[in-house]
Amino acid sequence: MTIDMSQFYQVFFEESAELLEKMEQLLLELNVAAPSKDELNGIFRTAHSIKGGAATFGFTEITETTHILESLLDKLRNDELTLRSDMVDVFLKAVDVLRMQLAGRQSQAEVDAQAVADICQRLNQLAQGKAAPAAGAAAAIPLTIPAAPVAAPAIGKISNADAVVQDAAMLVASAKDPVDPTPENLYAILTGSAPVAAAPVLKPAVASAAAQTDAYGFFTDLAVVDEAPAAQAPAAQAPAEQAPVAQAPGRAAPEAMPDAHPKRRSSDRVDAETTSIRVGVEKVDQLINLVGELVITQAMLAQTASRVDPLVSEALIAGVGQLERNTRDLQESVMSIRMMPISFVFSRFPRVVRDLAAKLNKQVELKTVGEGTELDKGLIEKIADPLNHLVRNSLDHAIESPEERIAAGKDPVGTITLRAFHQGGNIMVEVADDGAGLSRPKIMAKARERGMNVNDAMSDQEVWSLIFEPGFSTAAVVTDVSGRGVGMDVVRRNVRGMGGRVEIQSTLGKGTCISIRLPLTLAILDGMSVAVGKEIFIVPLTYIIESMQPAKADIKAISGQGKVVHVRGEYLPVVALHERFNIKPNVADTEMERGILVILEAEGVKTALFVDELVGQHQVVIKSLETNYRKAQGISGATIMGDGKVALILDVAALVRGAMRDTRQAA
Higher pLDDT, 629 or 593: 593
Of the pLDDT bands very low, low, confident and very high (cuts 50, 70, 90), residue 476 is: low
pLDDT higher than 60, residue 210: no
104 vs 109: CA distance, rounded Å:
4
* Sheet containing strand 562-567, strands side by side: 544-548, 596-602, 605-611, 570-576, 562-567, 555-558
pLDDT higher than 60, residue 438: yes
Q: Which residues of 519-529 are buried (b: 16+ CB within 10 A; e: fewer)?
A: bbbbbbbbbbb
Residue boundaries of the structural domains of the chain: 2-128, 157-274, 281-337, 341-519, 524-666
Say what the pLDDT of residue 482 is. Answer: 55
Q: Of 455, 486, 579, 587, which Cα lies nearest the Cα of 533?
A: 587
For 556, phi then psi, to 5°, come to -125, 145
| Residues with Cβ within 8 Å of residue 344, at least 6 apart in sequence | 380
Percent of the chain with pLDDT over 90: 15
DSSP string, 402-465: HHHHHHTT--SSEEEEEEEEEETTEEEEEEEE-SS---HHHHHHHHHHTT----TT--HHHHHG
651 vs 421: CA distance, rounded Å:
25
Right CATH for 524-666 from 2.40.50.180, 2.30.110.10, 3.10.580.10, 2.60.40.1290 = 2.40.50.180
Distance of CA 637 to the CA centre of its chain: 26
CATH code of the domain occupying 2-128 = 1.20.120.160
Q: Of 320, 292, 315, which Cα lies nearest the Cα of 305?
A: 320
Average pLDDT of 246-252?
36
Say what the pLDDT of residue 3 is. Answer: 63
Query: Residues 549-560: pLDDT tens digits?
Result: 988 888 888 776
Question: How far from each other are the two terminal CA atoms of the chain, in whole angstroms?
Answer: 80
Say what the pLDDT of residue 253 is. Answer: 38
Of the pLDDT bands very low, low, confident and very high (cuts 50, 70, 90), residue 286 is: confident
pLDDT higher than 90, residue 423: no
Average pLDDT of 116-130?
84
Amino acid letter, residue 526: D
Higher pLDDT, 636 or 159: 636
597 vs 38: CA distance, rounded Å:
62
Say what the pLDDT of residue 148 is. Answer: 32
Overall pTM surpassing 0.85 (yes/no): no
Least confident stretch, 247-261, 265-279, 297-311, 574-588: 247-261
Say what the pLDDT of residue 402 is. Answer: 93
- CATH fold label, 341-519: Heat Shock Protein 90 (3.30.565)
Say what the pLDDT of residue 141 is. Answer: 30
Say what the pLDDT of residue 179 is. Answer: 47
Average pLDDT of 284-302?
84
Average pLDDT of 97-107?
90
Q: Of 174, 166, 189, 67, which Cα lies nearest the Cα of 119?
A: 67
SS3 per residue for 599-655:
EEEECCEEEEEEECEEEEEEEEECECHHHHCCCCCCEEEEEECCCCCEEEEECHHHH
Average pLDDT of 615-623?
82
Higher pLDDT, 415 or 186: 415
* The pairing of beta strand 364-369 with beta strand 544-548: unpaired
Query: Residues 562-573: pLDDT tens digits?
Result: 788 898 888 888
Of the pLDDT bands very low, low, confident and very high (cuts 50, 70, 90), residue 129 is: low
| Residues with Cβ within 8 Å of residue 214, at least 6 apart in sequence | 45, 48, 49, 52, 258
Question: Between the ranges 136-145, 223-232, 386-395, where is the mean pLDDT highest?
Answer: 386-395
Average pLDDT of 517-543?
85
SS3 per residue for 14-48:
HHHHHHHHHHHHHHHHCCCCCCCHHHHHHHHHHHH
93 vs 510: CA distance, rounded Å:
35
Question: What pairs with residue 525 in β-bridges?
Answer: 620
